[in-house]
Amino acid sequence: MKIKTSLTLDLMAELREAAEAEAIRVFARNLKDLLLAAPAGGKATMGLDPGIRTGVKVAVVDATGKVVATDTVYPFQPKNDLKGAQVAIARLIGQHGVKLISIGNGTASRETEKLVADLLALLPGTDKPVKVIVSEAGASVYSASELAAKEFPDVSIARRLQDPLAELVKIEPKAIGVGQYQHDVDQHRLAKSLDAVVEDAVNAVGVDLNTASAPLLARVSGVGPGLAEAIVAHRDQNGPFGTRKDLLKVARLGPKAFEQAAGFLRITGGKEPLDASSVHPEAYDVARKIVAACGRDIRALMGDGAALKKLNPASFVDDRFGLPTVKDILSELEKPGRDPRPSFKTATFTEGVNEITDLRPGMVLEGTVTNVAAFGAFVDVGVHQDGLVHVSQLSDSFVKDPHAVVKAGDVVKVRVVEVDVGRKRIGLTMKSDGGTSAKDEARERGPGPSKPVRGPMQSGPQGGGNAFADALKGKFGR
């Protein structure tokens, strides 16, 4: 009996550890996809944080993300000042040359989107701003933070569209909520894993040394919060950095920190053209040998793939830098400062479909993947409740890992299979046959939990008593 109890406890501990590892892996993968979502780029952007009684918060930022105007309008109950709201928004669009309008996906988002759509239809000309719905995940946590107290918290909605990575690093990764059973796992392991994902994402994209905020700089390898604040303070006091080497003038930033961080920091339009690339200052001599071999000015050569491909990388190998490093340098010179993130694309929500009650089986909708779990993907189709594409409905062929088909931020087309208004459940499919077998498969799986499926705005699907048993299904197929 004692042996049985001991074995049972050991087995349960092993299974729990495996389930935790899988849940953390899923969260980390989703977070990476969200951080590396496509940026809209440097365009004047208006952010709208929807609200009913408290009003719709309006913030306008310029191409660099600097706040240029803020306001609050009250188009809904109890004031119902729809016309006044549209006049105020139109005035700000004209004054600041707004090109993008970012609308948070919280309460009253579709009503706010309709308000903007009606306004844009009235504006003259063809060069009108583009409206986009963005996720508010973690926005409430950020707005209550010490950092938000120093900024305008409502500006986050606008900046998330311009550069999701630069804005999301200001939020504790766990608060972004794109995992499964995240509150049931070891919080220390989860935080450590997510912090590593954020740092990797920041280093992969690179950081503009002269425009980055302290929270973004703090995520660069070798920097940290203290040095990030020192860099920003030095920049504010002495103006923009002219070269990467000017970093060594920052208080408490020594050669070791410079060596770790320099390759991930960029300076656009500076004195040294290579500072705009990911080539580390230690390898500048190799880069200059490559430029000399081409007999051209470095600024003219950077980006000229045809000329660079004619070179033999082995010719530039020396005692310090091997062939892989030389190939990386050539690749970077070919596409200097390249951004690994995809091109900007947004989902177009169907007009007239604003609430879950507007959905009907058979509807084909466009939506954005907000969360991916072991059992499928959640998709925002614009009705304040994410729908679930079960793993069996993601593709015509068998899918073992949903991440192999979709990732957070993807724009996808889905078909509505079933709608349960009472339990706020939306069943979707991405199968070409319209998911005709979805209901049968759901019936075979038996009734699900009585509480509604939770979207990413609610920190992902939460596990109750059998949370880890559910998570293990994705890992062990039981």
Q: For 4-17, how does the pLDDT look when each residue is reduced to its tens digit (9 = 90+)? A: 899 999 999 999 99
Q: What is the pLDDT of residue 178?
A: 73
pTM over 0.75: no
Q: What is the pLDDT of residue 454?
A: 35
Measured distance CA(418)–CA(416) in Å, rounded: 6
**Lowest pLDDT segment from 1-15, 116-130, 274-288, 430-444:** 430-444
**Lowest pLDDT segment from 43-52, 305-314, 330-339, 461-470:** 461-470
Shared domain check, 147 and 57: yes
Residue 115 pLDDT grade (very low, low, confident, very high; cuts 50, 70, 90): very high
Q: What is the pLDDT of residue 416?
A: 96
Residue 188 predicted with pLDDT over 70: yes
Give the domain-ending residue among 162, 189, 210. 162
Both structure tokens of 100: 């993008």
Q: Which of 50, 93, 43 is nearest to 72 (CA)?
A: 50
What does the pLDDT look like over 404-430, one tens digit per residue? 999 988 899 999 999 999 999 999 999
Compute the CA torsion angle 267, 271, 274, 280 (nearest 10 deg).
Answer: -70
Identify whether 478 is part of a domain.
no
Which CATH number do you get for residue 390?
2.40.50.140
Shared domain check, 157 and 54: yes
- In the chain, what is the straight-line distance between the N-terminal and C-terminal CA atoms, in Å? 26
What is the domain extent for residue 416? Answer: 356-447
Residue 444 predicted with pLDDT over 50: no
Average pLDDT over residues 319-330: 88
Burial class (CB in 10 A: 0-12, 13-18, 19+), 4: exposed
Which CATH number do you get for residue 323?
1.10.150.310
183 contact partners, CB below 8 Å, separation of at least 6? 459, 462, 463
Shared domain check, 157 and 50: yes
Shared domain check, 121 and 51: yes
Burial class (CB in 10 A: 0-12, 13-18, 19+), 387: buried
Identify whether 374 is part of a domain.
yes
Would you say 431 and 395 are in contact if contact means Cβ atoms under 8 Å apart?
yes
The H or E element that residue 371 is part of is strand 364-373
Identify whether 112 is part of a domain.
yes
In percent, how much of the chain has pLDDT > 90?
Answer: 44
Both structure tokens of 309: 């491909």
Shared domain check, 327 and 414: no
Residue 469 predicted with pLDDT over 80: no
Which CATH number do you get for residue 50?
3.30.420.140
Give the domain-ending residue among 162, 177, 194. 162
Average pLDDT over residues 456-467: 37
61 contact partners, CB below 8 Å, separation of at least 6? 44, 45, 47, 67, 68, 155, 158, 159, 162
Shared domain check, 404 and 311: no
Average pLDDT over residues 265-278: 89
Identify whether 324 is part of a domain.
yes
Q: Which of 374, 381, 376, 471 is nearest to 419 (CA)?
A: 381
Average pLDDT over residues 331-359: 83
Identify whether 38 is part of a domain.
no
Shared domain check, 302 and 394: no
- Given 3-state DSSP classes, what are the helix, strand and coil percentages for the chain, each rounded to the nearest 5? 45, 15, 40
Query: 199 versus 152: which is more confidently predicted?
Result: 199
Amino acid, res. 39: P
Number of domains in the chain: 3
Residue 152 pLDDT grade (very low, low, confident, very high; cuts 50, 70, 90): low
DSSP state letter for 57: E
Identify whether 17 is part of a domain.
no
Shared domain check, 388 and 293: no
Helices and strands in the chain, H and E counts: 18, 12
Shared domain check, 412 and 383: yes
Residue 153 pLDDT grade (very low, low, confident, very high; cuts 50, 70, 90): low
467 contact partners, CB below 8 Å, separation of at least 6? 181, 184
Residue 309 predicted with pLDDT over 70: yes
Residue 349 predicted with pLDDT over 90: no
Identify whether 366 is part of a domain.
yes
Question: Given its phi and psi angles, is residue 269 left (phi above 0), alpha (psi -120 to 50 degrees) or beta?
Answer: left
DSSP calls for 2-18: HHHHHHHHHHHHHHHHH
Q: What is the pLDDT of residue 261?
A: 94
Average pLDDT over residues 55-81: 92
* Residue 86 to residues 69, 81, 92, 280, 423, Cα–Cα distance (Å): 16, 9, 10, 50, 35
Shared domain check, 312 and 369: no
Residue 456 predicted with pLDDT over 60: no
Shared domain check, 68 and 150: yes
Burial class (CB in 10 A: 0-12, 13-18, 19+), 430: buried
Measured distance CA(365)–CA(377) in Å, rounded: 15
**Lowest pLDDT segment from 134-148, 191-205, 414-428, 457-471:** 457-471
**Lowest pLDDT segment from 17-26, 63-72, 461-470:** 461-470
Q: What is the pLDDT of residue 474?
A: 42
The pairing of strands 207-208 and 265-266 is parallel
Give the domain-ending residue among 147, 162, 177. 162
Identify whether 213 is part of a domain.
no
Residue 394 predicted with pLDDT over 90: yes
Mean predicted lDDT score pLDDT of the chain: 84
Residue 462 predicted with pLDDT over 70: no
Shared domain check, 408 and 301: no
387: which strand partners? Answer: 379
Q: What is the pLDDT of residue 335?
A: 80
Burial class (CB in 10 A: 0-12, 13-18, 19+), 293: middle
Q: What is the pLDDT of residue 149?
A: 61
Q: What is the pLDDT of residue 466?
A: 43
Measured distance CA(153)–CA(171) in Å, rounded: 12
Q: What is the pLDDT of residue 478?
A: 39
